[in-house]
């Protein structure tokens, strides 16, 4: 899986948090309400931004498994989460326990290469599978296998900030369209999972989960950047120009001129989509029945109740 720098992840985090669909996040939290603790599996966690966005919306006791292929990002996540917390309750090699906004949050850090599939991660108790800004990097085949694995376990799934192809700058520049074409071509290259789905990722997830009998809801979550986010706009212009340049579709001179103009853009809209997929009550029951294969007392927690809520009616 292709990596990202901790500096880039820190720069984008405020825009990510502002862009998320609050309605979809609230529905994801409602789907696991009452779990004590709620077990969350966060794929491609980076420095822990997804946890920081979601934790305050979830129940009072939480156990997160943060998964990333990069041990350096996992170490950075531990350090950033320590700074973010109201208090550090325990900092052991195998577990970090924090207090934040009245919530007790236990965190495991797992170095794992996702390109081989997520099945091995589901041996632990999981109430919700989540990720942010991940699936546009994955291949259609990987997404299909991922949906099959999650649906077979009957698990709720919530993802945010999947790039959807929208890329609009103001004021316009003569090479906007050419750079966008080159950037999208680059995005479909192999990012470690095979040729990437890019802007098609959300549609593939939605179709796969609907075919598996899930109720699927989608919301837009675009970045709407202005001069207040000058550093992010400048970094975005630099990264876009570099990616477009790797395709060889534009000359260095054209890209340099575009990059210089775009670093000073008045505004920028980058399209993303959030998605929530909830299994039917029958699918939840099937997952609960499989609990004896899970560790840490999952059998007793599953006995006598379903592990996920029946989905709300999908939005029109």
Going from N- to C-terminal start, the domains of the chain cover: 6-164+194-222+271-302
pLDDT, residue 4, reads: 77
pLDDT over 90 at 186, yes or no: yes
pLDDT over 60 at 304, yes or no: no
- % the chain with pLDDT above 90: 84
pLDDT over 70 at 305, yes or no: no
3-state secondary structure the chain: CCCCCHHHHHHHHHHHHHHCCHHHHHHHHHHCCCCCCEEEEEECCCCCHHHHHHHHHCCCEEEEEEEECCHHHHHHHHHHHHHHCCEEEEECCCCEEEEECCEEEEEEEEECCHHHCCHHHHHCCCCEEEEECCHHHCCHHHHHHHHHHHHHHCCCEEEEEEEEEEEEEECCCCCHHHHHHHHHHHHCCECCCCECCHHHHHHHHHHHHHHCCCEEEEEECCEEECHHHHHHHHHHHHHHHHHHHHCCCCCHHHHHHHHHHHCCCCEEEEEEEEEEEECCHHHHHHHHHCHHHCCCCHHHHHCCCCCCCCCCCCCC
Q: What is the mean pLDDT of the chain?
A: 90
Domain 6-164+194-222+271-302 is classified in which CATH homologous superfamily? Vaccinia Virus protein VP39 (3.40.50.150)
More confident residue, 256 or 307: 256
pLDDT, residue 93, reads: 87
- % the chain with pLDDT above 70: 88
């Amino acid at each position: 899986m292709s990596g990202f720098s901790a500096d880039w992840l820190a720069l984008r985090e405020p825009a990510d948090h502002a862009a998320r669909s609050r309605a979809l996040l609230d529905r994801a939290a409602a789907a696991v309400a009452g779990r004590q603790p709620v077990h969350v599996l966060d794929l491609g966690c980076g420095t822990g931004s997804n946890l920081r966005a979601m934790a305050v919306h979830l129940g009072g006791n939480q156990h997160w498994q943060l998964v990333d292929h990069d041990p350096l990002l996992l170490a950075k996540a531990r350090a950033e989460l320590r700074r973010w917390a109201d208090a550090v309750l325990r900092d052991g090699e195998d577990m970090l326990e924090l207090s934040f906004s009245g919530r007790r949050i236990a965190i495991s850090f797992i170095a794992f290469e996702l390109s081989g599939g997520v099945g091995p991660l589901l041996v632990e108790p999981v109430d919700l599978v989540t990720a942010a800004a991940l699936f546009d990097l994955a291949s259609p085949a990987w997404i299909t296998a991922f949906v099959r694995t999650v649906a077979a376990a009957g698990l709720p799934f919530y993802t945010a900030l999947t790039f959807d192809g929208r890329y609009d700058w103001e004021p316009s520049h003569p090479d906007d369209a050419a750079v966008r074409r080159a950037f999208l071509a680059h995005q479909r290259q192999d990012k470690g999972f095979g040729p990437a789905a890019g802007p098609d990722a959300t549609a593939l997830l939605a179709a796969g989960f609907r075919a598996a009998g899930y109720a699927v809801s989608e919301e837009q979550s675009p970045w709407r950047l202005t001069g207040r986010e000058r550093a992010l706009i400048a970094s975005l212009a630099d990264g876009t120009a570099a990616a477009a340049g790797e395709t060889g579709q534009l000359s260095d001179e054209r890209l340099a001129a575009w990059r210089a103009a775009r670093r000073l853009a008045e505004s920028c809209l980058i399209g993303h989509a959030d998605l929530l997929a909830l299994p039917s009550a029958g699918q939840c029951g099937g997952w609960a029945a499989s609990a004896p294969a899970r560790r840490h007392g999952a059998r007793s927690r599953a006995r006598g109740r379903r592990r996920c809520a029946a989905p709300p009616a999908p939005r029109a």
